[in-house]
């Protein structure tokens, strides 16, 4: 009797471990994914039917289907060829990872400090355009991220907060631009007027 109990327990442990492994494998397909649409060769944001993939994985199958796309409903009857991109490299297509790769090694265009790695618990870095308008990257539509990364510059969360305050509540701000002009490379004020754009930085 004891042998049978051990055997059943062992089989249950193996089954649970197998199911957990399959579910873990499917978790990498969760969330918004950036792909290149095969129809127009432009960025598109898609989502995998994750729960359906989990149920299929529990049965030992791999079943990936789209449940959303930024080009739907006008292209809802497409061939879904973008699934091959996600299947080959799901982590590389997640919008979070695309953003993390963009900010990696970058410095803030305003203060010059290194941009810290993206974290779910800290404030995110932002993007600033040539009109000195900064915006959070995660507030953009995922399909608009590639163009934003190409046309804007990175700005740290602190400078983004300052630029937002200057833009939205200028009456509360006394602006003194600074430049690295000291003998030891320290910052010194170089004028009283705020620049109208960041052409000199970009």
Using CA atoms, how far apart are residues 123 and 78, in angstroms rounded to an integer? Answer: 38
Using CA atoms, how far apart are residues 107 and 154, in angstroms rounded to an integer? Answer: 7
pLDDT at 23 over 80: no
Q: How far is CA 38 from CA 41, 71, 94, in A?
A: 5, 12, 18
Q: Which residue, 138, 122, 109, 128, is CA-closest to 166? A: 128
Burial environment of residue 193 by CB neighbours within 10 A (0 to 12, 13 to 18, 19 or more): exposed
Mean pLDDT of all residues in 144-172: 89
pLDDT band at 202, cuts 50/70/90?
very low
Return the pLDDT at 25: 67
pLDDT at 188 over 70: no
* Ramachandran bin of 156, using left for φ above 0, alpha for ψ from -120 to 50, beta for the remaining angles: beta
Mean pLDDT of all residues in 168-181: 68
pLDDT at 65 over 50: yes
pTM comes to: 0.70
pLDDT at 142 over 90: yes
Q: Which residue, 62, 61, 63, 72, is CA-closest to 39? A: 72
Token pair for 155: 């700005």
């Amino acid at each position: 009797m004891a042998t049978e109990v051990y055997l059943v327990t062992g089989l249950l442990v193996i089954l649970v471990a197998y199911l957990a492994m399959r579910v873990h494998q499917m978790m990498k397909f969760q969330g918004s994914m950036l792909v290149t649409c095969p129809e127009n060769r432009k960025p598109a944001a898609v989502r995998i039917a994750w729960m359906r993939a989990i149920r299929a994985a529990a049965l030992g199958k791999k079943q990936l289907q789209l449940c959303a796309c930024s080009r739907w409903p006008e292209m809802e009857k497409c061939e879904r060829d973008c699934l091959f991109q996600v299947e080959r490299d799901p982590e590389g297509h997640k919008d979070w990872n695309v953003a993390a790769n963009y900010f990696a090694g970058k410095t803030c265009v305003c203060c010059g400090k290194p941009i810290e790695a993206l974290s779910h618990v800290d404030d995110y870095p932002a993007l600033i355009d040539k009109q000195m308008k900064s915006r959070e990257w995660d507030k953009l539509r995922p399909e608009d991220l590639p163009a934003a990364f190409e046309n804007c510059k990175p700005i740290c969360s602190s400078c983004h907060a300052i630029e937002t305050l200057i833009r939205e509540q200028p009456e509360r701000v006394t602006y003194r631009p600074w430049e690295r002009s000291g003998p030891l490379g320290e910052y010194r004020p170089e004028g009283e007027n705020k620049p109208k754009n960041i052409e000199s930085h970009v």
